[in-house]
Amino acid sequence: MSVNLLQTPIEYLKGVGPQRGELLRKELGIHRYEDLLNFYPNRYIDRTRYYQIKELNNNPAEVQIIGKVVHLKTVEFGKGKKRLVAVFTDNTGQLELNWFQGHKWIRDSLKLNTPYVIFGKVTNFNGQYSMAHPEMELYQEHQQSLRSSMQPVYPSTETLTNRGVSNRVINKMMQQVFLETQGLFVETLPQNLLEELKMIPKSAALFNIHFPKSPELLAKAQFRLKFEELFFIQLQLITKNLVRKHKIKGHPFTVVGEHFNNFYKNHLPFELTNAQKKVLKEIRNDMGTNAQMNRLLQGDVGSGKTIVALMAMLIALDNGFQSCLMAPTEILANQHFNGLTELAKGLNINIKLLTGSTKTAERKIIHEELENGSLHIIIGTHALLEDKVQFHNLGLAIIDEQHRFGVEQRSKLWQKNEIPPHILVMTATPIPRTLAMSLYGDLDISVIDELPPGRKPIQTVHRYDSNRLKVWKFIKDEIAKGRQIYIVYPLIQESETMDYKDLMDGYESISRDFPLPHYSISMVHGKMKPADKDAEMKRFAEGKTNIMIATTVIEVGVNVPNASVMIIESAERFGLSQLHQLRGRVGRGAEQSYCILMTSFKLSNDSKIRLETMCKTNDGFEIAEVDLKLRGPGDIMGKQQSGVLNLQIADLVKDKEILLLARHEAMKLLKKDPSMSLPEHQTLRSVYIELTKKKNIWNYIS
């Protein structure tokens, strides 16, 4: 069938018309026949079974009943609110049908005392069964329609339901599309791939996704369509990566010279772990070619990313280039600056810090030195992105904790020079491989999957608030051994005032339980001035205080090796990745460290899973996988990037295996035919081009 027919505007489909067409466009993004075809059910229900009203017993699933409406009335509830109530009976009992909207439409179209098949969820209130906004079909029509034990249920919206575009209506439209197109659709995947993976053809897949003939065929249809979706995404990502490697020039760092070697031979404070060595090699290889590096460095908290960053920057310097390292917060930028200055002392290189609080005079010097090239390495916050900051020759840009920076910011750095700098994005939030593959397919990925030797795994326990006395006793013992303690309170923006009160109450009661002069306490929170925050952090870092009470401002990067206990208050209110980040503040020294998750007794199921996961494992990747399952990918990556994950049918969590397969096949195909120009790939290529035009969502940097 011709492609053009599929491009027909949806209002021309029989039974749609301008008004419904508008609705479909607005509510579901369905503009053309093609969009309707690709609008997939999100589940299937058994419509071969009919219930009798007397059989209803708190059945939570949806049921189908045959009966008649014998009475219709409007009932007021609350001020000005009305609901339309119908009494529905079969021979065995009666049931209330309720509508809260769309009354006129119902009144006009509903026939009294005529057999209907109703479908919906039944609720039981004080022994009275009712169904809200049921799907209704005249029994006579119902008998003529196709029924299968797997009837598709399409996603819907309130507006659609109120305007009478029910599931049944969508189903009818779908039948109409198949009728008009004769159900014949262009095959989008190469024949040999279909054979190799025993996939059903496109036409069969589309038919069975909408009108499953059997559970087996439905499964095949789902597999085929999921594979296809993921396969084309992978083709795009891999192609983009290949193009970048071939076309986007970078500065070739051909030498590993004096600075690097001097550091490696004379100033390395410890032996690098194998993982650090491996990653460093990957970075060196990337920067050594004349393609631009675009690499994501994943490493759990404490895995030692900082020294890798420094060594990469030394290579840049050996090749006559400047580097910058950008961190999301001032505290972190400060820490990086201190850490790197310490590591690089004796190297005789010029490293400076630029943040929002850098004084004007110092700032001027920095701007000058950056422009004349005498400043080798600049560490900073967003301040680095200002237009005034111009480099002599920026060769390497390192971004720490990437998920806090948006795409635009990355590209801003990119634009600072004619030939873009190599980019290294460092993150301590492990992203599950599947997600990384879909999101960052255009980045190469390095992983530090090993912690420096001698670290003892942090012991994590969950305690209820009622056990606080025991916990306090434990803290006192640890302090007596010379250790330091973090106590963290949640800070959630919507209830900032309440959280602030929690924090202050906590501070007061802890001050009472750990009184001066025996104990001393620091506190940092978001409402403090940066200078005060830093001063408090510094007191704690220098061991002048025993306890640090904080909100999550300490989440990222803070390094106090002598701190061995992390207490997280109201731990049920934190997300998994945040809990893991917070825990990563301890276990940085040689001592056994502990993380204590304090909660009330009231815990949701998800909270329980989060707490259990934390107690069970220290592995950031394992935790990230659980997090992905609990929250779904959109949430994890934040709004900004979640658009990327607008998948039609595949699910990154559930369809991991298919994703891996799709990636594997896409690579294989592109290896054989990088430009998709072989005759057998002609359709593939045109579909690919169409898709790329439409979903131009892979532009992170370019």
Residues that bind Mg ion (CB under 5 A): 557
654-659 long-range contacts (CB < 8 A, ≥24 apart) are 655/226, 655/230, 656/434, 658/223, 658/226, 658/227, 658/230, 659/230, 659/234, 659/434, 659/437, 659/438
256 binds, among Mg ion, ligand ADP, none (CB under 5 to 8 A by kind): none
Minimum CB separation from ligand ADP for residue 408, in Å? 25
Angle in degrees, CA 629, 635, 636, rounded to 5: 70
Compute the CA torsion angle 52, 58, 62, 65 (nearest 10 deg): 10
Least Cβ distance, residue 62 to ligand ADP (angstroms): 50
Binding partner of 220, given ligand ADP, Mg ion, none, CB within 5-8 angstroms per partner class = none
Q: Which is nearer to Mg ion, 421 or 557 (CB)?
A: 557
The smaller minimum CB distance to Mg ion, of residues 106 and 344, is found at 344
Minimum separation from the CB atom of position 665 to Mg ion (A) = 37
Contact string 570-599 vs ligand ADP (x = CB under 6 A):
------------------x-----------
DSSP state of 460: E
- The one of ligand ADP, Mg ion, none whose footprint includes residue 276, by CB under 5 to 8 A per kind, is ligand ADP
Report the partner that residue 94 touches, choosing among Mg ion, ligand ADP, none (CB closer than 5 to 8 A by kind): none
Sign, CA torsion 650/652/658/659: positive
**CA 28, CA 157: separation in Å to the nearest integer?**
8
**Segment 472-511, which members bind ligand ADP (CB under 6 A)?**
none
Residue 547 CA to residue 478 CA, distance in Å, equals 11
133 binding partner (options Mg ion, ligand ADP, none; Cβ < 5 to 8 Å by kind): none
The Cα–Cα gap between 204 and 221 comes to 7
Name the minimum Å distance from CB 413 to ligand ADP: 20
Query: How far, in Å, CA of 663 to CA of 238, rounded?
Result: 9
Distance in angstroms (rounded) separating the CA atoms of residues 293 and 425 = 10
- Six-digit token string for 546: 């025993």
- Asked whether the beta carbons of 302 and 431 are under 8 A apart, the reply is no
Count, residues near ligand ADP per rule CB under 6 A: 17
Residue 248 binds which entry of ligand ADP, Mg ion, none, CB below 5-8 Å type-dependent: none
CB of 550 to ligand ADP, least distance (A): 18
For residues 181 and 188, give the distance between their C-alpha atoms in angstroms, rounded to a whole number. 17
Smallest distance, Å, CB 280 to ligand ADP?
Answer: 11
Burial class (CB in 10 A: 0-12, 13-18, 19+), 445: middle
Contact pattern for ligand ADP over residues 293 through 312, marking x by CB under 6 A: ------x-xxxxxxx-----
Nearer to ligand ADP, 217 or 424 (CB): 424
Asked if 427 contacts 296 with a C-beta cutoff of 8 angstroms, the reply is yes
Q: First vs last Cα of the chain: how many Å apart?
A: 37
Distance CA 72, CA 97 (A): 9
What is the footprint of ligand ADP within residues 426-445 (CB under 6 A)?
A: 428
Q: Considering only residues 12, 50, 105, 270, which one is a binding residue for ligand ADP as defined by CB under 6 A?
A: 270
Element (H, E) at 448: strand 444-448
- Residues 243, 647: Cα–Cα separation, whole Å: 24
Residue 118 or 301 having the CB closest to ligand ADP: 301
CB 397, min distance to ligand ADP, A: 17
Rounded to whole angstroms, the Cα distance separating 306 from 475 reads: 31
Q: Which of 115, 121, 12, 110 is nearest to 63 (CA)?
A: 121
Which is closer to ligand ADP, CB of 447 or CB of 523? 447
CA 327/CA 344 separation, integer angstroms: 19
**Per-residue binder mask for ligand ADP (CB under 6 A), 377-416, x = binder:** ----------------------------------------
Annotate each residue in 7-36 with x if it binds ligand ADP (CB under 6 A) or - if it does not, as one string: ------------------------------
Minimum distance of ligand ADP from residue 401's CB (angstroms) = 10
CA–centroid distance for 124 within its chain: 38
Q: Which of 272, 365, 670, 691 binds ligand ADP (CB under 6 A)?
A: 272
455 secondary structure, DSSP code: P
Find the shortest distance in angstroms from Cβ 264 to ligand ADP. Answer: 13
Asked if 397 and 420 touch (Cβ cutoff 8 Å), the reply is no
User: Of ligand ADP, Mg ion, none, which one does residue 322 interact with (CB within 5 to 8 Å by kind)?
Assistant: none
Shortest distance, position 373 Cβ to ligand ADP, whole Å: 28
- Comparing CA positions, the residue from 279, 546, 539 lying closest to residue 425 is 279
Residue 351 interacts, among Mg ion, ligand ADP, none and using kind-specific CB cut-offs from 5 to 8 Å, with none
328 binds, among Mg ion, ligand ADP, none (CB under 5 to 8 A by kind): none
Q: Which residue is nearest to ligand ADP (CB)?
A: 304
Site string for ligand ADP, 228-247 (x = CB under 6 A): --------------------
Q: Is 273 in the site for ligand ADP (CB under 6 A)?
A: yes
Residues 237, 271 contacting (CB under 8 angstroms)? no
Task: Output the smallest distance, CB 306 to ligand ADP, in A.
Answer: 3
Torsion of CA 194, 199, 204, 207, to 10 degrees: -130
Which residue lies nearest Mg ion, judged by its C-beta? 557
Q: Closer to ligand ADP at the Cβ: 97 or 340?
A: 340
CA nearest neighbour of 580 among 601, 556, 561: 556
Q: How far is the CB of 592 from ligand ADP (least distance, A)?
A: 16
Binding segment (CB under 6 A) for ligand ADP, from list 181-189, 229-237, 267-275, 610-618: 267-275
The distance of closest approach from Cβ of residue 454 to ligand ADP in the complex, given in angstroms and rounded to an integer, is 7
Q: CB of residue 278 vs Mg ion: minimum separation in angstroms?
A: 18
Measured at the CA of 415, the angle between CA 411 and CA 418, to 5 degrees, comes to: 145
**Number of helical (H) and strand (E) elements in the chain, helices listed first:** 26, 21
Positions touching ligand ADP (CB under 6 A) are: 270-273, 276, 299, 301-307, 428, 452, 559, 588
